[in-house]
Amino acid sequence: MQKVVICGVDTSGLPKLSAKENEELILRIKSGDADARERFIVGNMRLVLSMIKRFRTKNFCADDVFQAGCVGLIKALDNFDVSVGVKFSTYAVPMIIGEIKRFLRDGNSLRVPRSIRDVAYQVLKAREVIEGRDEEATISRIAEEMHVAEREVVYALDAISDPVSLYEPVYNKAGDALLLMDQLADEKNTDEIWTEHVALSEAMSKLGERERKILFLRYYEGKTQTEISEEVGISQAQVSRLEKTAIKNIRQNIS
């Protein structure tokens, strides 16, 4: 949001209009003066700039956010009633903020339910209160302040956190970028687990066809020994004995 040129507009060179100039231009606009309308909009773009600074928009293009604010400015101009007796800026600010919020909400790929956002807001307020007492705002302390479970605090804060790409650079050295993905370990596919899977597959291949079927039905499909006995056509006692023998043989082959 620090760029000088936004949407092709040199923000450092935007004109400033006095309250009297705004009033005169609005009267001309209501009479259908197109030139006055353009001058008024450009002259009030600084109001849009001051509003977008309130928002954390690192995941959005500054041009897009600025355009959303300008839409709010134009809507405010089209609906402004000079007879109400309030300053245009007072009327326009809520509409500009509303358009920016709508853009940020609709442009977010992750939709957070309103109820969770409300809880997150309460969490942030509770943290502010705790820190105002010069206390450490830990998760447990915030949960105690709000009279809720700690998991609700954690869940609410996680829900409003900005998502980060796995390909986000976290470190650069000599032109080589280290990505976030490079810092994450795969705990499900380590060399040790992969070796165990290979050994298990090899041990299973040494069992008889009936023993393999019993283990498959028992541990992959979750069937009881009684159900297996009916499907295989042997007694439950035989299923139990074959199962124990098969497991014993697998352990011996793996060790």
DSSP string, 63-131: HHHHHHHHHHHHHHHHH--GGG---HHHHHHHHHHHHHHHHHHHT-SSPPPHHHHHHHHHHHHHHHHHH
pLDDT at position 131 is 87
- 235: its two tokens: 């007694």
- pLDDT score recorded for residue 64: 81
The answer to whether 208 and 214 are in contact (CB under 8 A) is no
Question: pLDDT exceeding 90 applies to what percent of the chain?
Answer: 13
Tokens representing 77? Answer: 């101009």
Q: Looking at residue 1, what is its pLDDT? A: 43
3-class secondary structure, 186: coil
pLDDT in tens, 174-226: 656 666 666 666 666 565 666 677 777 888 888 889 998 999 888 888 889 89
Q: Give the per-residue pLDDT at 35.
A: 92
Other C-beta atoms closer than 10 Å to the C-beta of 242 total 21
Contacts of 84 (CB under 8 A, 6+ apart): 91
116-119 contacts: CB < 8 A, separation 24 or more? 116/155, 116/156, 116/159, 116/160, 117/159, 117/160, 119/148, 119/152, 119/156
Q: Which helix (H) or strand (E) holds 177?
A: strand 176-179
Query: What digits encode the pLDDT tens for the residues 242-254?
Result: 999 988 888 887 7
Amino acid identity at 228: I
Structure token pair of residue 151: 């998991």
Which amino acid belongs to residue 192?
A: E
pLDDT number for residue 58 = 58
DSSP state at residue 164? -
Cα-based angle 123, 124, 127 (whole degrees, multiple of 5): 85
